[in-house]
Amino acid sequence: MYYQRRMALAALPSAAYWARRHLETTLTDWRATIDVPSAKLIVTELMSNGVKFSTPLTAHHQVVYGQRPGAVPYDALAQIGYVGLRLSYASERLLIEVWDRSERPPLRIAPDREAEGGRGLLMVERLALRWGWYPSSWRGKLVWAEMGE
């Protein structure tokens, strides 16, 4: 049996949360035999990166939006793009795909020990069977990760 679900989310800090919720519900509906905590980490990392590259909001406005959405100027919110999530499951394999509107390739870097970020794709690489990316035919890119036994 082959299953697939898609969703689009506004490129806001809450997108990773809603993507995780969608993942949990979807995997339960499909009765998928996937390591859910690892899948949630992968979705969080890919979605967070997608938001970072699909929103014109400054880091300051993203923090403010998380605390007081009404405090972010409307003209900044009107420029927000979308990120997409597609989940596909067959033969005990889960494919997680996240679309963002940036054409820049994802960078897997080795952060220094003091860095607050930069470890996301390293975690994806560890948790997934394989991962990669490709340019989207409509603009931006798709970053994907495959999980399974």
Distance, in Å, from the CA atom of 81 to the CA atom of 140, rounded to the nearest integer, reads: 11
In this prediction, residue 99 carries a pLDDT of: 95
What gap in Å lies between CA 120 and CA 143, rounded to an integer? Answer: 13
Mind listing the pLDDT tens digit for each residue in 6-39?
A: 999 988 888 999 999 999 999 999 999 999 999 9
Mind listing the pLDDT tens digit for each residue in 113-127?
Answer: 666 666 788 899 999
Q: 113: buried, middle or exposed (CB in 10 Å: 19+, 13-18, 0-12)?
A: exposed
pLDDT score for 118: 64
| pLDDT band (50, 70, 90) for residue 67 | confident
Q: How far apart are CA 141 and CA 133, in angstroms?
A: 7
Q: Which of 64-78, 96-110, 123-137 has the lowest mean pLDDT?
A: 64-78
What is the per-residue pLDDT for 76?
A: 78
116 Cβ contact list (under 8 Å, min separation 6)? none
Instruction: State the pLDDT at residue 61.
Output: 78
- Report all structural domains of the chain as residue ranges with CATH numbers, in order of start: 2-148 (3.30.565.10)
Burial of 78 (0-12, 13-18, 19+ CB in 10 A): exposed
